[in-house]
Structure 1
Amino acid sequence: MTDQSAITAETFAKPRILSRIRAKVPFLIRLSGLWLIAMVAVAIFADVLRPYEITKMDLSARLAPPGTPGHWLGTDDLGRDVLSRLLQSVRVSLVIAFGATILSAVFGTTLGFLAGQFRGWVEQVVMALADFQAALPFLIMSLAVLAFFGTSMVLIVCLMGFYGWERYARIARGLAISASAQGYAGAVVQLGAKPWRVYLRHILPNVASTLIVSMTLTFPEIILMESGLSFLGLGVQPPETSLGNMVGFGREYMTRAPWIMLAPSVIIVLTTLSISLLGDWLRDWLDPTIR
């Protein structure tokens, strides 16, 4: 086969591969992906998209219903534009959830690899901490910590970062022990590679798919946790706003101005549902036993 014919065959093969991938992705998963892309775009370009500053008040237009010219999602009791505050809330909630998810995954995976590498008392300590974390009511602990130390964005992200780390630790430990018993890890060790290189360059890429699926399942839980804390008044504090903060503020006007609470509530439901659906699909798609 000549080089020209090989290039032609490859050119025709690419669209076929892409069409097969598209055919395997359910329509609902595509919608979920589009919604998440839209939310990420809103979080990135919130400063450009929002028509007003989140603290700008117009008392003459207070509690304006949705559809009011200049206020397409209405206003709150202080005349602040709900759409502007909603766009900023999406940014804040996603930043908290994304940062906390990454922190939880890194912390839990590191402890899991340490337990799988050293075994013995190190493994026992890590597993005991994981059992303690799983048995601890995280919401009550978060309320106590925030009430004692006060609230700040950094503290909230760090606190949320300790949510669910025991899952990553258990998964990483089990996968690390399994991978270490296989031939490729032992061969790399025999060649003189250091343990950190074995885990970062060889074991981690082989277990990354499982950890990524776990992250997609933890992400919506952190969004709901942050929303619950903000709803109770110990999350994001004014003048900053988040989705849970808007829901907590709008509950006082549920009968007179339900749009204040409904708009962020719909965003929370659709975002968490989209991430959960995508995580379930990724888990099935990456599982070789199902394929």
Structure 2
Amino acid sequence: MWKEQISVDGPYAFDRVLQRMSIDPLNHIDEGKQMVKLPYTGAKKQAVTITGIGTTQDPVFIVEGTYEEDRKEIIRHVKDLFHWNHSLNEVDLHFSSSTLSNIFDVHKGTPLVREPSVYSCLLKSIIHQQLNMAFAAVLTERFVTTYGENIEDVWFYPEPQTVAEITVEELRALQFSQRKAEYVIGVGKKILSGELELDRFPEMSDEEIIEELVKLRGVGPWTAQNVLLFGLGRMDIFPFADIGIQNALKKQFNMERKPTILEMEEWTESWRPYLSYASLYLWRSIETGK
């Protein structure tokens, strides 16, 4: 076992991070202890524990792992996942005089936190397509707990080979639709065949990744943008077709109807290059009612 203490530039609201992560029942979270355990696949699979011991203004974290040989890579990985390498002050300043300034005042210090891997994010995004949040979470939990692996009380998504060998009938028994079952299995098969190389994505542009992902059956722009946001932490992504964002903008601008794509395109020009944070904070405004 090893542990390392890391200080981060504030503001950084870890309690809000845990609140948002708790929406997914697969995440091992103790909000009272300000702790989350995440899966990590390196030389060996292990659970990584992140505990907040500081404050929003002076954030400090303890990161703990099992195997010393992956320590440096885990620290780098965790810093990337939780957006510890970049101060949020620049983002807050950018939006301080924008049309979203009130939302950024309320949710100040809320970071964009990624899923543990691009792979898990892609599968989760496909499962969540066109479902309400509650059932999407249930379906994802059934999938992972049936075919994945539990190590140190943390669930790991099933490996691509396992996914490729699942039958449509097996997923139908978990209440997957026929097509959604085919799409999920198809991801496993594409990775196994080498046609889909997720390890290359960090070096690719947003446009190249979207082009690669939409080749997959069942993956459209919304899912591809979701992977860019929560799988890779890209900073300038705004899913115009997302219903939650449309509803948030309708509320923000006191509209009687949902905004048009043209209206959204005009508004978002001044929010660049931090459209991902505009997206996140608009979602937060709907989730919290503030």
When the two structures are superposed, what TM-score results if normalisation uses the length of structure 2? 0.27
- Name the structure where helix makes up a greater proportion of residues: 1
When the two structures are superposed, what TM-score results if normalisation uses the length of structure 1? 0.27
- Name the structure where strand makes up a greater proportion of residues: 2
RCO higher in structure (CA 8 A, sep ≥6): 1
